[in-house]
């Protein structure tokens, strides 16, 4: 039986593993129940997670323009960008496990599951890259997801609001169209991988919604207005549409939140489906 310190050291080792395959293997080896988190120091705010030397990280404006998906190079570029997101998502889930002590047991159970599912998503996408004759790291990428992790490292409420419910929720909006474009380009294998990822990601955003609302309740905060305020004050990006309203509802977004987001992107207010409460 592992000691408390050994169990959490394994989480930290996975977070700081640089080799992608080693990281995946270490994440797969984590198992519930983890012992209660001991009183250990979280990683310093300036720390970076384990990641390989490639892909080179550049500003988003310096990334090459994507090519059309009917070309192999275009499909590779899309899948490489998605693999990079999933690799970062492994680190984000591990960081949520490791950084925020003192939360209920289910918080750590949820984020362990998310980390392991993100690892499998990365493996599936890396296999697609290898099928197309390359590998993860062959193209440059940006560091926006981890920059937001650092920006929200001091407060789990801000982390839950701005990473799963903003950055990861964007995947709910754009993945269906990407999947259809891959099908239209004749790449049914890659489209099937995106379908698998899409089915899991709604649950990941729902985990963020669950713990965001829990933390709001703990602090006596109204969650809808708190989310809107944090988005206005702390998020430097632009909310883009169209929004996948059904998927976002399943992931824990309220009707006031969806109405506000729709107005923010200049779209009509969200309409609840017939028969919805």
pLDDT tens-digit profile of 178-216?
A: 999 999 999 999 999 999 999 899 999 999 999 999 999
Please give the average per-residue pLDDT across 142-156, as a whole number. Answer: 90
The single residue listed with the structure tokens 């985990």 is 207
pLDDT at 185: 95
Residue 275 has pLDDT above 60, yes or no: no
Question: Could you tell me if residue 11 is inside a domain?
Answer: no
Task: Using pLDDT thresholds of 50, 70 and 90, give the confidence band for residue 1.
Answer: very low
Distance CA 37, CA 45 (A): 19
pLDDT in tens, 120-142: 999 999 999 999 999 999 999 98
- Residue 117 in any domain: the answer is yes
pLDDT category at 118 given cuts 50, 70, 90 is very high
In a domain, 190, yes or no: yes
CATH of the domain at 130: 1.20.1260.10
Is residue 17 included in any domain, yes or no? Answer: no
In a domain, 187, yes or no: yes
Mean pLDDT confidence for 267-273: 61
Is 231 part of any domain?
A: no
Triad 63, 148, 119: Cα angle to 5°: 80
Does residue 253 sit within a domain? no
98: containing domain: 64-222
Distance set, CA 46 to CA 151, 209, 272, 274 (Å): 10, 26, 43, 48
**Averaged pLDDT for residues 97-124:** 94
Question: Is the pLDDT confidence value at 157 over 80?
Answer: yes
How many helices (H) and strands (E) the chain has is answered by: 11, 0
Helices 188-219 and 223-234, packing angle to 10 deg: 110
- pLDDT tens for 78-90 read 999 999 999 999 9
Peptide bond into 130 cis (omega under 30): no
* In a domain? residue 36: no
For the segment 29-69, what is each residue's pLDDT rounded down to a tens digit? Answer: 998 776 555 555 555 555 789 999 999 888 887 787 777 88
Domain count, the chain: 1
């Amino acid at each position: 039986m592992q000691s408390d310190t050994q169990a959490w050291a394994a989480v930290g080792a996975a977070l700081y593993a640089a080799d992608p395959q080693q990281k995946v293997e270490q994440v797969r080896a984590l198992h519930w129940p983890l012992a209660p988190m001991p009183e250990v120091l979280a990683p310093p705010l300036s720390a970076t997670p384990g990641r390989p030397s490639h892909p080179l990280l550049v500003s988003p404006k310096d990334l090459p323009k994507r090519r059309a998906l009917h070309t192999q190079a275009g499909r590779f570029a899309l899948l490489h960008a998605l693999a990079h997101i999933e690799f970062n998502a492994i680190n984000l889930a591990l960081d949520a496990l490791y950084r925020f002590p003192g939360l209920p047991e289910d918080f750590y159970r949820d984020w362990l599951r998310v980390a392991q599912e993100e690892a499998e998503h990365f493996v599936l996408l890396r296999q697609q890259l290898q099928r197309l004759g390359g590998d993860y790291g062959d193209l440059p990428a940006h560091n926006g997801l981890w920059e937001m992790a650092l920006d929200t490292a001091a407060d789990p409420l801000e982390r839950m609001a701005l990473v799963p419910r903003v950055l990861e929720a964007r995947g709910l909006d754009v993945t269906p169209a990407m999947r259809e474009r891959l099908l239209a380009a004749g790449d049914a294998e890659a489209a099937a991988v995106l379908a698998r990822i899409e089915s899991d990601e709604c649950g990941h955003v729902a985990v963020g919604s669950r713990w965001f609302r829990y933390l709001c309740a703990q602090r006596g905060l109204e969650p809808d207005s708190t989310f809107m305020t944090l988005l206005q004050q702390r998020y430097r990006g632009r909310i883009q549409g169209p929004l996948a309203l059904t998927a976002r509802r399943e992931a824990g977004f309220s009707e006031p939140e969806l109405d506000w987001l729709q107005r923010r992107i200049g779209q009509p207010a969200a309409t609840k489906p017939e028969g919805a409460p």
